[in-house]
Amino acid sequence: MRPFSEAELLAAYAVADRTRPHLRANMIASIDGAATHQGLSGGLNNPADKQVFDLLRRLADVVLVGAGTLRAEGYGGLRVDEEDVAWRRAHGLPDHPVLAIVSSRLALEPSSPLFTEAPRRPLLFTHEQSPQRQRAALGEVADVVVCGHDAVDPAGVVAELVVRGMPQMLCEGGPHLLGTLAGVLDELCLTVSPLLEGGGAVRILRDAPLAHQPMRLAGVLRAEDMLFLRYLS
């Protein structure tokens, strides 16, 4: 059972001009602001959220993910389903978006399905101080982009993706990466999950260098008790 029609989601989330650079993030939180349940975001979502999550991937040229989320959530090769492939082909897009990873320590295995099962060669953003040997090893399976001195520079990431012809950028978190990107974010899609989580879970933004950034509510969808909010910078 799909709570939303395809037309409804496209009307809510498709951008008017795909050539215009747009960095969108998609995150989920409980009513009390928890970004995880027992260490993962999976305990917060439901089929309606999965539908929005998949639709946002369908619309993306590139999906940016922090290494912490890849490790915690066990991401494999980034692949959209057949229906999304058909839509993308009909709109002149490559079958799948590119996965762009952000990492400092580069504690990722080149033999991971992230790389070996990727339909498109992933990008890996890192900085000058990251381990050289690991960088060379990962360079066999991904395009490594050095961007920043001792941390990955968010504006540099956006500029690089635009130059590479990927202006529709989707960040799927996690909280540390979103904190890094907060200053260059154009849109935040936030699912509010009808749960009081309690405990010490992280929020969707961690270690953000700026605070109190105003955003404008641009859309609201509802599926039973779940809310889907679109905020623009």
Ligand X SMILES: NC(=O)c1ccc[n+]([C@@H]2O[C@H](COP(=O)([O-])OP(=O)(O)OC[C@H]3O[C@@H](n4cnc5c(N)ncnc54)[C@H](OP(=O)(O)O)[C@@H]3O)[C@@H](O)[C@H]2O)c1
Which residue's CB is nearer to ligand X, number 93 or number 175? Answer: 175
> What residues contact 92, with CB distance under 8 A and at least 6 apart?
none
Site string for ligand X, 24-53 (x = CB under 6 A): ---xxx-----xx--xxx------------
Helix (H, G, I), strand (E, B) or coil at 11: helix
Among 13, 51, 173, 226, binds ligand X (CB under 6 A): 173
CB of 2 to ligand X, least distance (A): 21
> Is residue 112 a contact point for ligand X (CB under 6 A)?
no
Q: Which helix (H) or strand (E) holds 48?
A: helix 47-59
Q: Which two tokens stand for residue 106?
A: 């580069």
User: From the CB of residue 85, how many other CB atoms can be counted at a distance below 10 Å?
Assistant: 17
CB of 182 to ligand X, least distance (A): 11
Site string for ligand X, 139-168 (x = CB under 6 A): ------------xx----------------
Strand bridging mode 98-102 / 187-193 = unpaired
> Is residue 23 a contact point for ligand X (CB under 6 A)?
no
Name the residues that contact ligand X, by CB under 6 A: 27-29, 35-36, 39-41, 66-69, 72-73, 102-105, 107, 151-152, 172-177, 180, 204, 206
